[in-house]
Amino acid sequence: MSESAPRAQSAARPMGFKSMTGFAEARMERDGWSLRASLRSVNHRFLDIHLRLPEGLESLETEIRRVLRDRLHRGHVDVNLRVDPVGTSAVQINRELAEAYLQSADNLRQQFGLQGEPDLIALMRLPGVVAAPGTPAGGMTEESSAKLAAMAAECVAQAVARLEEMQFVEGRALAEVMRRHLARVDENAAKIVELAERSRPAYAKRLEARLRDLLGESAMDPARLAQEAAMLAERSDVSEELARLASHVEQFGKLLGGTGEMGKKLDFLLQEMQREANTLLSKTPGVEEEGLQITSLALEIKSEIEKLREQGQNIE
């Protein structure tokens, strides 16, 4: 592609983050050409661009990929560019080449004694007989190639801008859904904090009663009792997990109000939140009333985190 082809200018972007899914197209008609660029994007871990270009216009690939990489960072993107000649000069006949084909056909007919006249429609389908505007027998001129490349880049840039508009709209909708799930995580975590505080005195009394049942009339060593109680309390203490979970929830909420590439950051936080929820379940005693309630709330937290991960997979 000629270096003279101007680069398409990037339009100002709206604030917020984007979904990776969307569809958009742009059309353009100029200088005897009609162009249509259509883009379809779905979620993907990286930026994966699949291009479908008209035959003979493969040289546009580098510029089109540059335009896409300037605006998109993640997602599987299918790009289809269609180019058609238009106007009164849309069809140009290479008469010299057509005459050469006819002369060769006539020579063969005479040499082998064949009958019949040449098929004009078949003749026009032969390579090089019909040319697009600015395409002489030797191919497109450098000037025509540069103009077409610039038009293609501009058309694709317009389609990308429209795709981003759709992605930003969907991104805002996703953010609202995710905020609701995040609020439920925060509410359930707060309930667990309250239950954990309330259950500590009762847990100590139940521990002592259990030990008396096991030891019977045997004397209990107060130091050993305190040691065992401390060990069991540590195993069931979820304060650190709740503190880390609260921190992750706060960071997640801030990211939802940010802009730019947030998908990988959100995914990392969700992994950490899921880890804390799993630890909550592993530490929670499930036989007491408070323990059962904490287990139920921790399971709800895991469910909400899974819903957040499903939504987060679409965030760029």
pLDDT of 235 above 70? no
- CA 261: distance to chain centroid? 10
User: Where in the chain are the domains?
Assistant: 93-123, 169-312
pTM beyond 0.75: no
Over the stretch 25-78, which tens digit does the pLDDT of each residue have? 999 998 888 899 999 999 998 999 999 988 767 888 888 898 899 889 899 999
pLDDT of 13 above 70? no
Query: The tokens 């309250």 sit on which residue?
Result: 194
Token duo for residue 86: 């238009």
Tell me the average pLDDT of the chain. 81
Confidence (pLDDT) at 290: 74
Q: What pairs with residue 47 in β-bridges? A: 75
Confidence (pLDDT) at 12: 52
pLDDT of 229 above 70? no
Helix-then-strand count for the chain, H and E: 8, 6
Confidence (pLDDT) at 89: 54
Strand 47-52 to strand 75-85: parallel, antiparallel, or no bridges (unpaired)? parallel
Q: Are 83 and 58 in contact (CB under 8 A)?
A: no
Beta carbons within 10 angstroms of residue 19's beta carbon: 24
Confidence (pLDDT) at 111: 84
Task: List all residues 6 or more positions away from 266 whose beta carbon is below 8 Å from its beta carbon.
Answer: 252, 255, 308, 312, 315
pLDDT band at 193 (very low <50, low <70, confident <90, very high): confident
Task: List all residues 6 or more positions away from 150 whose beta carbon is below 8 Å from its beta carbon.
Answer: 5, 6
Over the stretch 121-150, which tens digit does the pLDDT of each residue have? 788 778 777 665 545 444 567 787 788 888
Compute the C-alpha angle 26/8/40, nearest 5°: 35
- Of 171 and 88, the structure prediction assigns the larger pLDDT to 171
